[in-house]
Structure 1
Amino acid sequence: MKIRVRSDILHLYRELHSWVGILAGLFLFVAFYAGAISMFEQPLQDWATRPPVLPAPVSLSRTPELIERALAAHPEAAAGYSVILTPAGAHPARLEWSDGGGRHHHGRGGATVFAALDDHGALVTARQPASTAAGFIDVLHQQIGLPLPHDIAMPIMGVIALLYATALTSGTLVFLPTLARNLFSLKLFGSAQKAWLDLHNLLGIFSLPFHIVMAVTSVVFAFHEQVFVVQHLTLSTPPAMHRPHPAAGAPPVAALPPDAILAAIARQAPGVAVDSIDYLQSGRAMRISVHDPRYSLRGPTSGFATVDPSTGRILSRDYLPGQQPRGMSVITVFFALHFGSFGGTPVRVLYLLLGLGGAALFYGGNRLWVVARRRREQRDGRVRDSLGTRLLDRLTPGWSFGCVGGCSAVLCAAPLVADNGSGSVFAALFYGVFTAAVALAFVVPQRLSEQAPLWLASVLTLAVAPIAVLARPVSSGALLLAGAALLLGAGLAALARRSGRREVPLTSRHRPRPVQAA
């Protein structure tokens, strides 16, 4: 059955797809590329953070002794400390607390104090700033690269997401009538324009469900405060994060030891694995971070629940995997589909590949627009590219590969800077490389405006590989990072070599001779 659409409607949708894509594409490139990296934010943070020197973690049965000694020596920790069930990576000790906003801000600023007992039972602590490199790349993803306050950047991101959804709809309607013919006539190694067009169509149609999910969930995130207000008004019970906490003046309660809390949780929520137990407000409140491979998670790596510290009874199941109220589970699905926080590592790898494919989709869309616009201008008799064509021709590679090179520069610096680095250091590094790539694209001859930023991004990406295995103790995570950097860097180098065969700009063609009158 053939799908027939009037030619004027197809033309309208094609123009809509092109212009909306141009407006949103560069921002979406940053969001997708940085988002692909952020799929492994926690492993990257573990790798980038310089590990403290501590005795081996105490057993869970000795944790009350550790807590008692730690609170005696550091009474300020009573405001909020965490027991880690499986110490590893960025959480190497059984007990930790933060002087930068609590454990859940770990990696986004401040420092964490880790506590352990030596062989003689003496308290040993280490204060360690966490690397903010991976967290910076995640914020870059959330804010589509905008160096603005979060409250300002998010609504702008929401508008870009709405444009993104419009481009998806119009592009699908344009491609649908010729779906079968186009799918079976792909030529990725022919002319540059045909290769970009076929790659653009291939990536777009096969990753369409993923892009629909990203567009819808991004709009939800951009305006989530309004969503929570409606949710608060419509649900019978307010979400846990909005419920009143125990009064600060209430007398402390005798909190159960960690092993008793775990036993109580196992009875009430079979199958749920507890990652950490957070003792808050001098033991007056408690929150547990959990995961369950059978269900979607509210956060990128965990769900959570509030617990009565004196009995272990679960007080709120709003974000507890598999036991949420219907309204809250709908919100969790939106978060899980965006974060890829379901299905474990295979889903994260899939999201990584889809994110990189999405970035290629947006870059290819802009390249196609430039080529089509240039040929149209040539048919109209122009002997020089229009200002808009020249600007986008140079801005697209500078912006896109400036983002790639900037992220690679951040990863190169992450294990090398003192005290694991602050967000401002990585921001200055990223935007410095980004600006340099854009400037490079505008100052070199036009035929090199794509090739020069590509080589810059390739060199910086390849540099991640030796740093990954030399700057930190060799681990499986470091080897995987090095391998990924080598593959991506080599791919960028191959693309740089191929870019010499790109469409020739009108400015470099000979001006046609006027026809002599007879």
Structure 2
Amino acid sequence: MKVRSDILRIYRSLHTWVGITSGLLLLVGFFAGALTMFKQPMDRWINPPEKRMPWIQESSLDQLVAQVMEQYPSARREFTLYPIEREDLSAPMVWTETSGGRELDLSAEQRIASLDSNGNLKTDIQMPSRFGDLVDMLHRTGGIPGFTGDEYLGVYILGIAGVLYFLALISGVILLLPTLVKDFFALRYGKNKKRFWLDSHNVVGITSLPFHIVISLTVIVFAFHGEFYEALKEVVYPNQERAQEMGESQHRNPQDILPPSQLLQKVRAEAPGFDVTEMLYMRLDSPRPLVRIAVYKPEELVHGPVTGYVGVDPYSGEFLLTAMLPGKAEGWGAIVNYFFALHFGSFGGSLVRWIYFFLGLSGAFLFYSGNLLWIESRRKKLRKNAAPDTLVTQPRNLQWMAAITVGATFGCVIGVCLAMVSGKWMHAVSDNINYTYVNIYYICFAVAIAYALWIGVGRATWHLLLASSLSCALIPLTSFASWLIPGLGLWAYTSLPVLMVDLTAAAFAVVLMFAAVRSRRRAFSGNTDSVWSAYKDKKSQAPGLDRKEFPI
């Protein structure tokens, strides 16, 4: 397909600059988003086993809730009931004393409850590990801290980046149209490393294009959902307002709520074949009480990251909200559910979650490789305009851009891995392990960028790749140490999902080590006029001359 050259120039400029302005933010979001596919196994890998309370049969949930309602009035605001035992959960009933909200409260203690063998209430207080939630926050904010109103500032900024991201996708497709058929799966590996990176960038972008279009659009919706939902609530969720207005005239006694077993029966009849995984009770002593019940079926497209939802009145058992239940939504509500499911990968079970994991990493690769290609294209233009046999000196802004790209990319990897490892090694000495996660991540992120700017991107690239490899390797090594030396006070689990955390980290440690070796080779034997060169005295040597003696 032929496209006019002037049109291609416009779209090339658009593709380049929207990628440069939003790339690093989206890179962090994609990397963290890939990890959120396995939040539960990561949380279980970190959480110690000693706080786990005995699980109870589903028939005993009624007794558990009744005793908690009588003895702990603070639970009436909000509590969560788990009918199905999971490895990452510490008790069948959980609540906090705080008022909730969108902000992640890192210091909120959690009260857990169960029944002993005699049917008596048993409670405890713990400081839960929020590592999975913190990774999800990185995914939603791109790592930008701060709040505006009742939402993270980074969510809005990431929404704006999502608009730019969509423009980059469309402009990229238009740029590839003239050679799409010929170069679709071309991976030309040779002396021209820039061509190989460009081919890789194009192949990953085109093969995952539907995924990236869905992600870009849903990122915009998630960022500005309040504005969109307020404008479209009568179209998308016409019955939600009626559900919210029910019971406005009366306050009810939380001890009169229906037993959980009755609600479970009603939901299973409404959604046959689904497992009920969670029952979130909200505002029991307010005019608008609600139980949000999570239902799971691997092959269904559901509204949430893992489950679909149905809203029930805890006193009457009436269904207040079914639009988030697979098969129940119609029209716009069904379209919204499809978009949510396609963003979260919440269908198809473990296979789709693994596919989304690698698609998320492919998104991070797109923005990383895009920045590298732009940096290399600047060098090509500089050499074209330079006199023959003269060494081109890369401008300082280009060196800074390269350093920030490398520092932010691998600083994110190092920060997440070391924060995760700290959950075990520092658990006994940290007053609040959640603040330890946050501090370690942001320190690693900032230090990696500062290091790349200070030492130069030529050396920093392979140094940071090596540090990323070692950080990944610390995850399985920590588990191995817990088995080998029990006296360390560490712990490890043998379930397949948790073991896959160790195996995946080990695999990426090998991949990153290989990349570090190749990067070092390029730094000491590649073109000396490149920002990726580690050669210090660049003024004394022109491109193409002997480059064997380089300082390490």
Structure 2 counterpart of 1:117: 115
**Greater mean deviation of Cα atoms: 68-77 or 206-215:** 68-77
Structure 2 counterpart of 1:194: 195
In 2, distance between residues paired with 1:105 and 1:449? 35
Match for residue 16 of structure 1 among 14, 17, 31: 14
In 1, distance between residues paired with 2:237 and 2:138? 36
Query: Is the counterpart of residue 4 in structure 1 residue 2 in structure 2?
Result: yes
Equivalent pair of 1:48/1:420 in contact (CA under 8 Å):
no
Structure 2 counterpart of 1:482: 502
Q: CA deviation at 1:421?
A: 4.0
Structure 2 counterpart of 1:467: 478
Structure 1 counterpart of 2:417: 408
Equivalent pair of 1:406/1:429 in contact (CA under 8 Å):
yes
Matches of residues 221-300 of structure 1 in structure 2 within 5 Å? Answer: 221-235=222-236, 237-239=238-240, 243-244=244-245, 246-247=247-248, 250-252=251-253, 254-282=256-284, 285-300=290-305
Q: CA deviation at 1:45?
A: 2.1
Q: CA deviation at 1:190?
A: 5.0
Equivalent pair of 1:383/1:511 in contact (CA under 8 Å):
no
Q: CA deviation at 1:356?
A: 1.0
Q: CA deviation at 1:128?
A: 2.1
The verdict on how the C-alpha distance between 1:245 and 1:128 changes in structure 2, with shifts beyond 3 A counting, is: farther
Structure 1 counterpart of 2:343: 338
**Greater mean deviation of Cα atoms: 378-387 or 429-438:** 378-387
Q: Return the TM-score normalized by structure 2.
A: 0.85
Structure 2 counterpart of 1:441: 452
The residue matched to 2:491 in structure 1 has which SS?
coil
The verdict on how the C-alpha distance between 1:11 and 1:112 changes in structure 2, with shifts beyond 3 A counting, is: same
The residue matched to 2:114 in structure 1 has which SS?
strand
Q: CA deviation at 1:479?
A: 1.4
In 1, distance between residues paired with 2:493 and 2:212? 36
In 1, distance between residues paired with 2:452 and 2:208? 30
Q: CA deviation at 1:303?
A: 2.4
Supply the AA of the counterpart residue of 1:13. Answer: Y
The verdict on how the C-alpha distance between 1:41 and 1:364 changes in structure 2, with shifts beyond 3 A counting, is: same
Structure 2 counterpart of 1:516: none
Q: CA deviation at 1:182?
A: 1.8
Structure 1 counterpart of 2:80: 82
Supply the AA of the counterpart residue of 1:139. Answer: M
Structure 1 counterpart of 2:329: 324
Per-residue deviation, residues 211-261 of structure 1 (Å, max 9, x unmatched): 111111111112111111112243572537982364596232733322222
In 2, distance between residues paired with 1:46 and 1:416? 15
Structure 1 counterpart of 2:392: 383
Supply the AA of the counterpart residue of 1:465. Answer: P
Supply the AA of the counterpart residue of 2:321. Answer: S
Per-residue deviation, residues 425-451 of structure 1 (Å, max 9, x unmatched): 322211100111111112224531311
The residue matched to 1:306 in structure 2 has which SS?
strand
In 1, distance between residues paired with 2:129 and 2:228? 32
Match for residue 431 of structure 1 among 437, 442, 446: 442
Structure 2 counterpart of 1:302: 307
Which consecutive unaligned segments of at least 5 residues does structure 2 have?
483-489, 530-536, 544-552
Sequence identity percentage: 31
Supply the AA of the counterpart residue of 1:474. Answer: Y
Query: Is the counterpart of residue 453 in structure 1 residue 451 in structure 2?
Result: no
Match for residue 401 of structure 2 among 381, 392, 395: 392
The verdict on how the C-alpha distance between 1:155 and 1:94 changes in structure 2, with shifts beyond 3 A counting, is: closer
Equivalent pair of 2:406/2:457 in contact (CA under 8 Å):
no
**Greater mean deviation of Cα atoms: 460-469 or 417-426:** 417-426
The residue matched to 1:121 in structure 2 has which SS?
coil
The residue matched to 2:123 in structure 1 has which SS?
strand
The verdict on how the C-alpha distance between 1:446 and 1:29 changes in structure 2, with shifts beyond 3 A counting, is: closer
Q: CA deviation at 1:51?
A: 3.5
Equivalent pair of 1:54/1:124 in contact (CA under 8 Å):
no
Per-residue deviation, residues 299-344 of structure 1 (Å, max 9, x unmatched): 2122222223344332221322221242222222222111111222
Runs of 4+ in 1 over 6 A off after TM superposition: 102-108
Supply the AA of the counterpart residue of 2:258. Answer: L
Q: CA deviation at 1:509?
A: 5.3
The verdict on how the C-alpha distance between 1:421 and 1:355 changes in structure 2, with shifts beyond 3 A counting, is: farther
The residue matched to 2:256 in structure 1 has which SS?
coil
The verdict on how the C-alpha distance between 1:35 and 1:106 changes in structure 2, with shifts beyond 3 A counting, is: same
In 2, distance between residues paired with 1:236 and 1:446? 52
Equivalent pair of 1:300/1:339 in contact (CA under 8 Å):
yes
Structure 2 counterpart of 1:508: 538
The alignment of Structure 1 onto Structure 2 pairs a total of residues equal to: 511
Supply the AA of the counterpart residue of 2:439. Answer: A
Per-residue deviation, residues 23-78 of structure 1 (Å, max 9, x unmatched): 22111211111111111122222332233445532222222233333344433323
Structure 2 counterpart of 1:212: 213
Structure 1 counterpart of 2:517: 497
**Greater mean deviation of Cα atoms: 348-357 or 247-256:** 247-256
**Greater mean deviation of Cα atoms: 451-460 or 344-353:** 451-460
Supply the AA of the counterpart residue of 2:332. Answer: G
Equivalent pair of 1:296/1:342 in contact (CA under 8 Å):
yes
Equivalent pair of 1:291/1:321 in contact (CA under 8 Å):
no
The residue matched to 2:7 in structure 1 has which SS?
helix
Q: CA deviation at 1:353?
A: 0.4
Matches of residues 73-222 of structure 1 in structure 2 within 5 Å? Answer: 73-101=71-99, 110-149=108-147, 150-183=151-184, 185-188=186-189, 191-222=192-223
Per-residue deviation, residues 269-322 of structure 1 (Å, max 9, x unmatched): 323322223344447543322223343222212222222334433222132222
In 2, distance between residues paired with 1:249 and 1:313? 17
The verdict on how the C-alpha distance between 1:116 and 1:288 changes in structure 2, with shifts beyond 3 A counting, is: same
The residue matched to 1:474 in structure 2 has which SS?
coil
Structure 1 counterpart of 2:485: none
The residue matched to 2:126 in structure 1 has which SS?
strand
The residue matched to 1:287 in structure 2 has which SS?
strand
The verdict on how the C-alpha distance between 1:132 and 1:452 changes in structure 2, with shifts beyond 3 A counting, is: same
The verdict on how the C-alpha distance between 1:61 and 1:420 changes in structure 2, with shifts beyond 3 A counting, is: farther
Q: What CA RMSD, in Å, does the superposition of the two structures yield over aligned residues?
A: 2.8
**Greater mean deviation of Cα atoms: 445-454 or 493-502:** 445-454
The residue matched to 2:424 in structure 1 has which SS?
coil
Q: CA deviation at 1:104?
A: 10
Q: CA deviation at 1:405?
A: 1.0
In 1, distance between residues paired with 2:383 and 2:290? 71
Which consecutive unaligned segments of at least 5 residues does structure 1 have?
514-518
In 2, distance between residues paired with 1:106 and 1:447? 38
The residue matched to 1:348 in structure 2 has which SS?
helix
The verdict on how the C-alpha distance between 1:9 and 1:420 changes in structure 2, with shifts beyond 3 A counting, is: farther
Equivalent pair of 2:106/2:435 in contact (CA under 8 Å):
no
Per-residue deviation, residues 124-161 of structure 1 (Å, max 9, x unmatched): 22222221111111111111221232442222212211
Equivalent pair of 2:239/2:321 in contact (CA under 8 Å):
no
Equivalent pair of 1:130/1:420 in contact (CA under 8 Å):
no
**Greater mean deviation of Cα atoms: 155-164 or 107-116:** 107-116
Query: Is the counterpart of residue 362 in structure 1 residue 367 in structure 2?
Result: yes
The residue matched to 1:415 in structure 2 has which SS?
helix
